Amino acid sequence: MSTQTYLIDTNVIISLEDNHAVKPAFSAFFKLASKYKVGVFVHAEAKDDILRDKDELRKQISLSKLRKFQVIEKVRGLQEEELEDSFGPIRKPNDLVDSTLLHALSIGAADFLVTEDKGLHLRARRNSAELGRRVLHIVDAVELLRTTFEPKEIPVRFVEEVIAHTIPLADGIFNTLREDYPGFDSWWQNKCIREHRSCWVVYDGGVAGIVVRKDEGAADTDAILDANKILKICTFKVRSEKRGTKLGELLLKKVFWYAQKNKYDLVYVTTYESQVTLIDLLEFYGFAKTQVRSDGELVYEKTFSSEKLLKKKEENIYCLDRRSYPRFVTPPGIRCFGIPIKENYHDVLFPDLKEVYQDDLFDQVGLGSGPRRPGNTIRKVYLCRAPSNLSEAGSLLFFYKGKSRGSPSQALTAIGVLEEVALARSTIELMRLTGGRSVYSEVELERWNASIRPVKVINFLLVGYVEPVITASDLMKEGVFNNNPPQSIFEIKEEKALGILNKIDLGFSV
């Protein structure tokens, strides 16, 4: 058996035949797990939950689905009060099941928990950032298995700007849209094509992901929150077989950076309750549900501002940065660090910066300026053994690319917001701490030999690129460092960090 083990929430299994959106991802997950002999478990508490179902036929069907999996037995003597202390209030039987699953995860009975239950994801995050990263949506579990066992060179994916009429209606991405939205073809023809609406598209054997956008004003919008300049996301879709490759996060980052740079006051998205992964992603980055329409469609809205982001006295800086993304709290009062990174690691962490480029990140795109290279993900993880005093969530990280064969060389290239730093003392710890974000295979993680020398795991949000890059000579002139660039993580004084930030057009005051 592989070193990885997965605990499956029953909502994924039971809904397999009821929700067509889950089925392809679930099938891929189970096929990969079987191929690589990955342990897949259900919890005994979940079986008890099913036994409480008063619908006898449904109960028997659900139980039959569980029998194919190994079972994690209950911990003897585990008290409900203990679960409440760690994982929050238990008001109903389902809360007890959720808390028991998280307890099994926390004690190491499984490495990852796979669930589509939004409440379970929130419980895990409230417990700790580390536990939250180990609770995965089914599409993320598929991606993690592929990354772990089937590492391959993936070409950098660029989000292209196109006009709606250039996309053939026969493209496969529209099939499920037709099922979810009656009259989709008519809407596409009469609204998107006729009005020449702009779209962001990722191509990969056809359209792999698409965002259709529309500009609105206060007098012509369905949004509720007060705003003048409004960006409506009419369609946000990733083709089902392409889920698990972080295309949703890629497209959402495109939306965020475009809206921030172009000084929109509000972005809103319409979706349905069945789009669990998208909703979780939206809420994670500060969208709030403001409406439920008569047909069950949900409206999620997020406000934007070009003002300096200020925190309240007791507010958690990292959580504020996450909800306000891509804005972030800047000095004074924020610690800042430089992180030297070698070219090969830089290419893995920031694959979108691998090529030579000179255009400004926010060059002209469509109706305004937006990012040409939005990257692969927002949430990232960096591994190193560099000594440092990194600790405070919300600290700013300035990534310095060392001497390289490709351009840029010896320059500041990217900015991140620190979420958490942890030490891994074994391969399995390394796998758990990087789960859901890792770009490394199991073999590559084993090569770190964490049991011999602990590995520092730095989780962070990518909040921007340094465009144009700031070279080593300029950094020395500014007094960020003296003489030779540091070879290890170093702290940057507040006033020096502000000097760097003021050279970058991030779309808000720093």
pLDDT tens digit string along 162-192? Answer: 999 999 999 988 987 888 788 899 999 999 9
Q: Is residue 56 over pLDDT 90?
A: no
Tokens of 160: 């292209």
173, 221: one domain: yes
355, 489: one domain: yes
Q: What is the CATH number of the domain that holds 411?
A: 2.30.130.30
Residue 508 lies in a domain: no
What does the buried/exposed string (b/e) look like for 444-483 if buried means 16 or more CB atoms within 10 Å of the residue's CB?
A: bbeebebeeebbbbbbbbbbbbbbebbebeebeeeebbee
Residue 507 lies in a domain: no
Decide which of 374 and 478 is more confident: 478
Residue 427 lies in a domain: yes
Determine the average pLDDT of the residues in 462-485.
Answer: 90
Residue 309 lies in a domain: no
228, 104: one domain: no
pLDDT in tens, 89-138: 999 988 999 999 999 999 999 999 999 898 999 999 999 888 999 999 98
The pLDDT, as a whole number, for residue 349 is 85
442, 497: one domain: yes
Sign of torsion over alpha carbons 387, 388, 389, 394: negative
105, 171: one domain: no
The pLDDT, as a whole number, for residue 242 is 66
Domain boundary among 277, 303, 329: 303
pLDDT in tens, 38-49: 999 999 988 888
Residue 342 lies in a domain: yes
Residue with tokens 């060059």: 363
273, 353: one domain: no
Domain boundary among 303, 333, 359: 303
Q: What is the CATH number of the domain that holds 204?
A: 3.40.630.30
Q: What is the CATH number of the domain that holds 33?
A: 3.40.50.1010
pLDDT in tens, 244-296: 557 888 899 999 999 999 999 999 999 888 888 889 999 999 999 999 999 88
The pLDDT, as a whole number, for residue 2 is 54
107, 82: one domain: yes
224, 138: one domain: no
The pLDDT, as a whole number, for residue 358 is 43
Q: What percent of the chain stands above pLDDT 90?
A: 56
The pLDDT, as a whole number, for residue 345 is 86
Domain boundary among 98, 120, 149: 149
Domains contained in the chain, number = 3
418, 478: one domain: yes
454, 340: one domain: yes
Residue 506 lies in a domain: no
Decide: helix, strand or coil at residue 232. Answer: strand
341, 488: one domain: yes
Q: Is residue 1 over pLDDT 50?
A: no
200, 98: one domain: no
Q: Is residue 372 over pLDDT 50?
A: no
Q: Is residue 75 over pLDDT 90?
A: yes
Residue 134 lies in a domain: yes
Decide: helix, strand or coil at residue 467. Answer: strand
Domain range enclosing 44:
5-149
Is 420:382 a contact under the CB 8 Å cutoff?
Answer: no
Among 174, 212, 210, residue whose Cα is nearest residue 193 = 212
Residue 123 lies in a domain: yes
494/122 Cα distance (integer angstroms) = 34
140 contact partners, CB below 8 Å, separation of at least 6:
244, 277, 436
348/326 Cα distance (integer angstroms) = 22
